[in-house]
Structure 1
Amino acid sequence: IYGETGAYYGTVEQQGRLTLHLHLLLYIKGALPPQEIRNRLMTEGSEFEKSLITYLEAVHVGEFHNGDLATMQAKYPVPTDTNSTYQNPTLMMPVPPPSWCKDKKCSECKRCVQRANWWSNFWETTDDLMVKSNIHTHHQAYEPTAKDRKAAVTKGLKTKYKGAKGCRNKDGICMARFPREIFPESVVDYSDGSLNVKKLESDINNVTPMLTYCLRCNTDVTSLLSGTAIKAIVAYISDYVSKASLKSYQVFSSMYDVLHQ
């Protein structure tokens, strides 16, 4: 999707609700250093600028394919009828594409028609997945009442029920940095070589459509075009790598390795 991998660095985090969450930094083989990229972008209208923007807009997007947020939410509402024929894509496996037609000039044979239908379904499914998993909704922190705590005990929860952690801090600012800034088109600041990639929706992460289609969950894909950003991500991931406590999935993995020796 992104090019040949030169190296990668990442770890799996176990969140408080026991779900697994991957943090990954991917290095593309042959990619230029961030500073050299910025230097080249300072030349207005260069072929390098056009090629880089074309690549970045192809591998990650900040909008839906078939419409804006309001249109997509109206088109893909949360199903309420249990007898509905609607199939939630987050609960379905991805459908592999049909085989290619070897005739490059053909567009009407059975394989070509199947291929066109698959791509149409791909974009429909990807938009639906983004509606289901990528739209950020602000939540205030919630302190449980005595009734909530009693209900938690009744349900057999052994840990103390602490309520919900919201995304807003005490000043009302979203700690997840939403809404994000909108860019109707990719823009380069020629004074310092910084690049803001096209983004049309403020309340969704940037995603790679093919990755969303395959993984069927929330993702956040960002191109790091500065050394500072790369160092920050390395430090962020290292924080999870160096956590002292052993997580349950690590315990099970160790048990599996021992039992199969």
Structure 2
Amino acid sequence: MFDKGLLNFYITINPTDVYNPIVKFLAGSEIDIDDMLLNKSFLSTILRFDKSKGTAVEGILGHVKVYYGCVESQGQGTLHCHMMVWLEGGHDPNEIKQHIMEAKDTNFCDQLLAFLDDTISNDIPSEPDPDILVPLMVHHLCSVHGVFPISNEEDPWATTVHQNDLHHLVKACQTHKHNLLCFKFDLDESHYCGSSYIDDETGEICLHCLNGMVNNFNSSMWEAVHCNMDIKFIGLGAPAKTILYYIMDYITKSQLQAHLSKFDPADDEIAIRAKELIRKSAHAMISHQELSV
């Protein structure tokens, strides 16, 4: 942040436990652990960033100038990724404040809100036809990868199938339910905002919120990864400060000590494979906190 300034987006990708590549690896599948940890497909296909050249063409969020990705293990041992993204031409909070509060640039405000509304969603899409089956209604939703053909304005049936698929995905993966052990204060049924707006007095960007229990997501990213995710824009005002505080507190937390088991000649083949996977994952997670340049 000292070199590139404040980020524009903070993204979290949280794969499902059951269909996580680590589980498949332990079951005997040949999985490229390095490719999984570095999210190569996500970077090259979704963000369209070429790490080897340090360049990007226009991706889902625009032209990515730089990113910082950190992969870590959850309590159950599965991996998830936190990523900070800087965009070419992206404005930091001071520049946004200048446009909104000082210059009173209504054209800038309208374009910014239109971009954010197109990028971030937090509502369960409607189900146009409950009688049309999609693969995730038969199989586990994280074991299938979307529907084909994709949505097409010239093909109403394809559009309906695509909408059904998205409806069930959001309902199953992005909708939060409070319980005794987990309570997210930023997700509440009372949170509702019919349309995005910018507060004239504070300059705070208030994004539309049609369902207070649905976590933010980008529909294109989400259909690609088919798992729980979160995306936040670093704008202006109290929400931006809260997000930045969370990020700084998160990335500066103390690291847990790693105790890797030694070789035991009595181990069978499965135990050896499991220990080798843990060792590789631990070393990769320590060394692959990467910063694109």
Q: Alpha-carbon deviations, 1:90-128, whole Å to 9, x = none?
A: 22123465699xxxxxx7xxxx43xx5444333321221
Matching of residue 6 in structure 1 with residue 65 in structure 2: yes
Aligned to 2:112: 52
Residues 210 and 98 of structure 1: is their aligned pair in 2 closer, same or farther, counting only changes over 3 Å? closer
Is the partner of 2:99 in helix, strand or coil? helix
- CA drift of 1:86 comes to 2.7
Q: Matched residues, percent identical?
A: 20
Q: Partner of 2:34 in structure 1?
A: none
Aligned to 2:175: 135
Structure 1 residue 13 displacement after superposition = 2.0
- Distance, in Å, in 2 between the alignment partners of 1:198 and 1:186 is 4
| Equivalent residue, structure 1, for 2:188 | 179
Q: What amino acid maps onto 1:64 in structure 2?
A: I
Q: Does 1:92 align with 2:144?
A: yes
Query: CA–CA distance in 2 between the matches of 1:117 and 1:205?
Result: 28
Contact 1:186–1:198 (Cα < 8 Å) also in 2:
yes
Query: How far, CA to CA, are the matches of 2:70 and 2:176 in structure 1?
Result: 24
Q: 2:86 maps to what in 1?
A: 27
Relative to structure 1, the CA distance from residue 11 to residue 236 in structure 2 (aligned partners, 3 Å threshold; closer, same or farther) is farther
Q: What is the TM-score when the length of structure 1 is the normalising length? A: 0.65
Residues 1:189 and 1:179: Cα distance change in structure 2 (over 3 Å): same
The equivalent residue for 2:14 is: none
* Residue aligning to 1:219: 229
In structure 1, what residue type is equivalent to 2:227? C
Contact 1:90-1:217 within 8 A present in 2 as well: yes
Superposition map of 1:188-199 within 5 A: 188-199=198-209
Measure the CA separation in 1 of the matches of 2:243 and 2:67.
Answer: 12
3-state secondary structure, aligned to 1:50: helix
Match of 1:251, SS?
helix
Could you tell me how far apart the structure 2 residues matched to 1:61 and 1:98 are? 19
- Contact between 2:93 and 2:235, CA under 8 Å: does it hold in 1? yes
Q: Relative to 1, partners in 2 of residues 1:137 and 1:230: Cα closer, same or farther, differing over 3 Å?
A: closer
**Structure-2 change in CA distance of 1:230 and 1:6 (3 Å):** farther
Distance 1:118 1:4, change over 3 A: farther
Change (3 A) 1:56 1:99: closer
Encode CA deviations 1:24-66: one digit per residue, 9 max, x unaligned: 1111111011121123223667111111111000011111222
Cα distance change on mapping 1:37 and 1:255 into 2, 3 Å = closer
- Count of residues paired in the alignment: 200
Q: Secondary structure at the match of 2:80?
A: strand
Please tell me the root mean square deviation across aligned C-alpha atoms, in Å: 3.4
Q: Is the Cα contact below 8 Å between 1:10 and 1:237 reproduced in 2?
A: no
CA distance in 2, matches of 1:184, 1:195: 14
> Partner of 2:252 in structure 1?
239
CA distance in structure 2 between the aligned counterparts of 1:136 and 1:99, rounded to whole angstroms: 27
Q: What is the Cα deviation at residue 185 of structure 1? A: 0.7
| Shift in Å, 1:176 | 4.5
Q: Which residue of 1 aligns with 2:122?
A: 62
SS in structure 1 of the partner of residue 161 of structure 2 = helix
More strand by share: 2
Q: Work out the CA distance in 1 between the residues paired with 2:233 and 2:170.
A: 19
The residue identity in structure 2 corresponding to 1:137 is K
Segments ≥4 residues shifted beyond 6 Å = 247-250
SS for the counterpart of 1:214 is: helix
Question: Which has the greater radius of gyration?
Answer: 1
